[in-house]
Amino acid sequence: MPKKKVKGALELSMSTIIIIILGVTLLTLGLVFVRTIFSEVTQISEITFREARESLSILAETDEILSIPPEVGVKLGEALTFKITLGNDGSVPQGDKFTLDVEENPELKNAGVKITIVGPRTLTVPEGQKNSYQILAEVDKNASLKPAGYIVTARYGGDIYQQGSFVVFPRKL
């Protein structure tokens, strides 16, 4: 008796195929939904924490002559504006003109981070009053995640009035 060749066949019913397609579709939509929700929550929390830090820095300014946020976090490829506040305690002999310098700390360098004073470097600060400098921190999209340190010097005439520092931390997107 000759043997017949029997070919194996994989048969799936139409309802099984539809259930598999629906399952993959729902899984994909669910993952996209969860990713979108988490990215929005991250953005909202970053904005909230930035506003809280600014509010706290305003409260912390009251007793300091030179108020600088110690840490500034900036995402790669983005820029952030923050302020440095200078108060005149009346210890300078005459006048009320102050100049601010921001220099790179040689021990904490990152070529991908750029700091700019927005507006004039010289401000009038009457005795017993405060005035703020706007600082722009820009981080190149290809910058390393290494922190960059800066030294802030407030001068009255040619003399150093106050000094402080801050660190910029580049962060991934």
The predicted-structure confidence for 93-144, as pLDDT tens digits, reads as follows 666 789 999 999 999 999 999 999 999 999 888 888 888 899 999 999 999 9
Q: Residue 58 belongs to what domain range?
A: 13-63
Least confident residue range of 78-82, 93-97, 157-161: 93-97
Q: What was the pLDDT predicted at 116?
A: 94
User: What total of structural domains would you count in the chain?
Assistant: 2
Domain end: 43, 63, 83, which one? 63
On whether both 49 and 86 belong to a single domain, the answer is no
5 part of a folded domain: no
Q: Are residues 23 and 96 in the same domain?
A: no
Q: What is the pTM of this model?
A: 0.64
Q: What is the CATH number of the domain that holds 137?
A: 2.60.40.10
What's the rounded mean pLDDT across residues 18-39?
A: 93
Greater pLDDT, 62 or 68:
68
Q: State how far the Cα of 34 lies from the Cα of 52, in Å rounded to an integer.
A: 27
- Which pLDDT belongs to residue 96? 73
Cα separation, 25 vs 22, in Å, equals 5
At residue 25 the predicted structure's pLDDT band, cuts being 50, 70 and 90, is very high
| Least confident segment among 25-34, 60-69, 115-124 | 60-69
- Report which secondary-structure segment, H or E, holds 162: strand 159-171
> Please, are residues 104 and 149 in contact by the beta-carbon 8 Å criterion?
yes
User: Taken in order 131, 155, 126, 130, is the CA torsion positive or negative?
Assistant: positive
Does residue 139 sit in the same domain as residue 72? yes
Kindly report which listed range (3-12, 28-37, 124-133, 135-144) carries the lowest average pLDDT score. 3-12
Which helix (H) or strand (E) segment holds residue 74: the answer is strand 71-75
